[in-house]
Amino acid sequence: MSGPQVLVAMSGGVDSSVAAALAVEAGWDVTGVHLKLADTPAHLQVQGKGCCTLADADDARRVAGTLGIPFYVWDMAEEFRRAVVDDFADEYAGGRTPNPCARCNERVKVVGLLARARTLGFDALATGHYARVEDGRLYRAADRAKDQSYVLYMLGPAELDHLRLPLGRMTKPEVRATAARLGLRTAAKPESFDVCFVPDGDTAGWLERRLGRRPGQVVDTDGQVLGGHQGAYRYTVGQRRGLGIATATPRYVLRVEPAAARVVVGERAELAIRAVELERASGTDGRGLRPGHARVRLRAHGQEAGCQVVPLGPEGSGEPQRGAPVNRGRTRLDLDEPVAAVAPGQAAVLYDGDLVLGGGTVAATGPAVPAPGG
Amino acid sequence: MPYLDYAASAPLRAEALAAMLPLLQRPAANPSSQHGPGRAARAAVETAREQVAALVGAAPGEVVFTSGGTEADNLAVKGAVLARPEGARQLVCSAVEHHAVLDAAAWAEADAGARVTLAPVDPAGRVDLERLAGLLEPGRTALVAVMAANNEVGTGQPVAAAAGLAHAAGAVLLCDAVQAAGLPGVDMDRDGIDLLALAAHKLGGPTGVGALVVRAGADLRPLLHGGGQERGLRSGTLPAAAIAGFGAAAAAALAEREAPGFAAALAALRARLLAGLRALEPALVVNGDPGRSSGAGGLPGLLSVRFPGRRAEDLLLLLDRHGVACSAGSACASGAVTPSHVLLAMGRGPAEARETVRFSLGHASTEADVDAAVAAVHGALEVLAPQEATT
């Protein structure tokens, strides 16, 4: 074969199956790889739940066989556990609300795998993400409902130059139709929505098994005790259900203070914030976030708001970020209008139209300009 | 395609195919049937039984055909445990046994009242006889498992000495000879082996058939019940064609072992491979001792090597792209490479275990295969810069 040598990450789902098929149709020299990310013994896995099960590896292998491409399984369970699963628990324990998919892309699935693919002499990595890479820049997917550019914001030119996203201009129905046309066994496979290592969707229960009970108090903004809880990590900013308190008007979680084992609740209006401070901010062009106006998305499936981007200079910690793009630093976003319920730990992603400018992790929020360090 | 993965599965020998074809093309014939076609199938099975017995120094009547090496090991371990009263179900296994032995023993411990003790090995993977002796509990030990030669690193084991210790404690000795039955070979009489596990495909026969050779006096309970075939130890219609292929492969393997110069030629191929790899990577580390320095013969065609700083998974991918087949550690159900329990038992760390590649040669290997493999490794090492060890 004469085309570029492309490694395709094959999860065993319909999206990455079609991505692999399109890569073959494009005439590329394609090799499939399935990442084993979980250590769960095969006989304890729940069929069709979560991802990275034995059945998923089998599906990916069968699709690779149908496409006639070499296929490998790589055990990256250790990397995944350290970079994603442990981080997920640590973030919740620290009172933050992490985005494990963004973290996984940053450390394992995209950046980590791409580095390994390049080491092995591949020209590029292809994945089944819904987003577009054009002229080395990252754009939203044509299918807005499926767009996954939000969880890829941390990519820089070093990655984007070698990343192929064959589904970027397709809609989900088109992807399924392609899978059916090619006779891929994953054509009708259901979507996976939950956090893949919490297959039953019970994040609070998963965290409790991992972190143990850490009882504390639910208080209002004056410090008055309204009730108790079994672990501050069970709460996230904006949460209304499960507070276990009786009040005349609905109360929402405003802050989570794990050190004091305290959950602070208040009125809906008190959730509104006007400023967000980001840490580990990066730009997809490799030159960092620059001052100016942009649209910001603060959760995977949330509304977007206009904002002014205010860079605050490089971070002082000097913590080396393996495989991370350059220009990581603190950045403030002054929102054009109030936004409700933004939790530290979430990803904030900046757009100019369909172009992804970059983003960062929410470090702190405030009614106006937050103090440095939150 | 240069095939250097005989220890995973050897190519089918022409003799085995020739023995199977007439039985596959023939009309229905159950070897247990009392009619012409049945008798013909039975005759083929009994010929194969003689050929398999001859390979391992046993009597034909001691051969119990199974579905393969895994079933043979399971029948030996579980069958021996179940034949003993509770309280006399201790099992002593070398730490480098195949999972078919270790996991069967673990089952017996979890579900059949057995106690399992692992006998440690030295850095070459050879079982420590003094430590083994100290683990035996006369009257309570049911079975001692010491393989003939290790499938991952090729080290030969002191089977005869282990058998002597087992017998003195009133236990039977299980020898997994799945890898070693051809070369260096085993002799149940000479070595005092009570139970011997075999798999046809490692000898150049078909997959799906193997045998447990059971010496008279070794008490076993069957695991499969039904028609009472194989002296009641393994019910199920005998796959006559596969068994005929097994027999033909066993006969061919025996002829090779007795042919002057065959083993030496295989060892020379391995030496050529090792020299070629060392020239490419002077820091290369050889695992195990397949040679005869110890007196216990190892696998002359097996070479387990570590390429420091290179992940075996990555090497395998690049070698596969060059059309060279070999393997790394042991593969789990999903197909991923996991750190080998054998290398860990030999005192290697998980990172070292992940850098280990196994090349294995056999009956049809040539110098051209070896040279192609060396060239492919050369290409792979050019691509892979040494990396920091990861755990």
Indicate whether A317 pLDDT > 60.
no
Clarify whether residues B19 and B81 are in a common domain. Answer: yes
Indicate whether B129 pLDDT > 50.
yes
Clarify whether residues A38 and A167 are in a common domain. Answer: yes
Over residues A225-248, the mean pLDDT reads 89
Clarify whether residues B247 and B209 are in a common domain. Answer: yes
Over residues B174-185, the mean pLDDT reads 96
Clarify whether residues B37 and B71 are in a common domain. Answer: yes
Clarify whether residues B222 and B112 are in a common domain. Answer: yes
Q: What is the CATH number of the domain that holds B20?
A: 3.40.640.10
pLDDT level of residue A367 (50, 70, 90 thresholds): confident
A78 domain residue, yes or no: yes
Clarify whether residues B18 and B165 are in a common domain. Answer: yes
A117 contacts in B (CB within 8 Å)? none
Nearest Cβ partner of B384 from A54, A57, A119?
A119
pLDDT level of residue A315 (50, 70, 90 thresholds): low
Over residues A348-373, the mean pLDDT reads 84
Over residues A145-153, the mean pLDDT reads 93
The SS3 of residue B205 is coil
A190 domain residue, yes or no: no
Which residues of A, range 98-127, sit inside 8 Å of B by Cβ?
116, 119-121
Clarify whether residues A310 and A259 are in a common domain. Answer: no
Over residues A95-103, the mean pLDDT reads 90
Clarify whether residues A132 and A253 are in a common domain. Answer: no
Q: Does A36 touch chain B (CB under 8 A)?
A: yes
Residue A40 has a pLDDT of 63
Clarify whether residues A156 and A25 are in a common domain. Answer: yes
Nearest CA in chain B to A52: B334
B388 domain residue, yes or no: no
Phi-psi region of A331 (alpha: psi -120 to 50; beta: other; left: phi over 0): beta
Q: Say yes or no for a CB contact (<8 Å) between B335 and A54.
A: no
Share of chain A above pLDDT 90, in %: 68
Q: Say yes or no for a CB contact (<8 Å) between B334 and A116.
A: no
A31 contacts in B (CB within 8 Å)? 317, 321
Clarify whether residues B250 and B360 are in a common domain. Answer: no
Residue A227 has a pLDDT of 92
Closest-CA distance, A303 to chain B, in angstroms, reads 40
B9 domain residue, yes or no: no
Closest-CA distance, A360 to chain B, in angstroms, reads 28
Clarify whether residues B83 and B197 are in a common domain. Answer: yes
Q: Which residue has the tokens 């020379």?
A: B268
Share of chain B above pLDDT 70, in %: 95
Nearest CA in chain A to B339: A75
Residue A248 has a pLDDT of 85
Q: Say yes or no for a CB contact (<8 Å) between B317 and A72.
A: yes
Domain, as residue range, for A223:
213-266
Clarify whether residues A342 and A276 are in a common domain. Answer: yes
Clarify whether residues A147 and A219 are in a common domain. Answer: no
Clarify whether residues B101 and B28 are in a common domain. Answer: yes
Alpha carbons A346 and A360: distance in angstroms, whole number? 9
Clarify whether residues B25 and B111 are in a common domain. Answer: yes
Q: What is the CATH number of the domain that holds B307?
A: 3.90.1150.10
User: What is the number of structural domains in chain B?
Assistant: 2
Closest-CA distance, A51 to chain B, in angstroms, reads 13
Clarify whether residues A92 and A151 are in a common domain. Answer: yes
A115 domain residue, yes or no: yes
A188 domain residue, yes or no: no
Q: Say yes or no for a CB contact (<8 Å) between B391 and A78.
A: yes
Domain, as residue range, for B276:
262-383
Clarify whether residues A253 and A280 are in a common domain. Answer: no
Q: Name the amino acid, one letter, at A255.
A: R
Clarify whether residues A87 and A116 are in a common domain. Answer: yes
Q: Which residue has the higher pLDDT, A41 or A302?
A: A302
Residue B293 has a pLDDT of 47
Q: Which amino acids of A are annotated catalytic?
A: 104, 196
pTM tops 0.90: no
A124 domain residue, yes or no: yes
Range in A85-94, A315-324, B21-30, B252-261 with the lowest mean pLDDT: A315-324
Phi, psi of B64 (to 5 degrees): -115, 110
Indicate whether A325 pLDDT > 60.
no
Instruction: Give the contacts of B255 (CB within 8 A, at least 6 positions apart).
Output: none
User: What is the number of structural domains in chain A?
Assistant: 3
Residue B296 has a pLDDT of 59
Over residues A339-356, the mean pLDDT reads 94
A54 contacts in B (CB within 8 Å)? 333-334
Q: What is the CATH number of the domain that holds A235?
A: 2.30.30.280
Boundary (domain end) residue, out of B195, B229, B255: B255
Q: Which residue has the higher pLDDT, B385 or A30?
A: A30
Residue B329 has a pLDDT of 67
Nearest Cβ partner of B338 from A61, A75, A119?
A75
Clarify whether residues B221 and B339 are in a common domain. Answer: no
Clarify whether residues A12 and A94 are in a common domain. Answer: yes
B158 domain residue, yes or no: yes
B135 domain residue, yes or no: yes
Clarify whether residues A58 and A177 are in a common domain. Answer: yes
A197 domain residue, yes or no: no
Q: Report how many Cβ contacts below 8 Å link chain A to chain B.
A: 48
Q: Does B317 touch chain A (CB under 8 A)?
A: yes
B230 domain residue, yes or no: yes
> If you average pLDDT over every residue of chain A, what do you get?
88
pLDDT in tens, A75-90: 888 889 999 999 999 9
Instruction: Give the contacts of A231 (CB within 8 A, at least 6 positions apart).
Output: A204, A207, A208, A211, A212, A213, A214, A215, A216
Residue A328 has a pLDDT of 60
pLDDT in tens, A180-213: 999 998 888 887 766 888 877 889 999 999 999 9
Indicate whether A170 pLDDT > 60.
yes
Clarify whether residues B86 and B182 are in a common domain. Answer: yes
Share of chain B above pLDDT 90, in %: 86
Q: Does B325 touch chain A (CB under 8 A)?
A: no
Share of chain A above pLDDT 70, in %: 89
Q: What is the 3-state secondary structure (H, E, C) of chain A?
A: CCCCEEEEECCCCHHHHHHHHHHHHCCCEEEEEEEECCCCCHHHCCCCCCCCCHHHHHHHHHHHHHHCCCEEEEECHHHHHHHHHHHHHHHHHCCCCCCHHHHHHHHHHCHHHHHHHHHCCCCEEECCCCEEEECCEEEECCCCCCCCHHHHCCCCHHHHCCEECCCCCCCHHHHHHHHHHCCCCCCCCCCCCCCCCCCCCCHHHHHHHHHCCECEEEECCCCCEEEEECEHHHCCCCCCCCCCCCCCCCCEEEEEEHHHCEEEEECHHHHEEEEEEEEEEEECCCCCCCCEEEEEECCCCCCEEEEEEEEEEECCCCCCCCCCCCCCEEEEEEEEEEEECCCCCCEEEEEECCEEEEEEEEEEEECCCCCCCC
Residue B292 has a pLDDT of 58
Q: Which residue has the higher pLDDT, A37 or B62?
A: B62
pLDDT level of residue A322 (50, 70, 90 thresholds): very low
Range in A172-176, A364-368, B18-22, B136-140 with the lowest mean pLDDT: A364-368
Indicate whether A320 pLDDT > 50.
no
Boundary (domain end) residue, out of B197, B226, B255: B255
B280 domain residue, yes or no: yes
Closest-CA distance, B379 to chain A, in angstroms, reads 11
Residue B355 has a pLDDT of 93
Give catalytic status of residue B332 as yes or no. Answer: yes
Boundary (domain end) residue, out of B255, B287, B309: B255
> If you average pLDDT over every residue of chain B, what do you get?
93
Nearest Cβ partner of A74 from B333, B336, B385?
B336
Closest-CA distance, B383 to chain A, in angstroms, reads 6
A205 domain residue, yes or no: no
Clarify whether residues B179 and B293 are in a common domain. Answer: no
A199 domain residue, yes or no: no
Indicate whether B48 pLDDT > 60.
yes
pLDDT in tens, A24-77: 999 999 999 999 887 765 544 554 444 556 788 889 999 999 999 999 998 888
Clarify whether residues A45 and A175 are in a common domain. Answer: yes
B85 domain residue, yes or no: yes
| Interface predicted TM-score (ipTM) of this complex, two decimals | 0.81
Q: What is the CATH number of the domain that holds A311?
A: 2.40.30.10
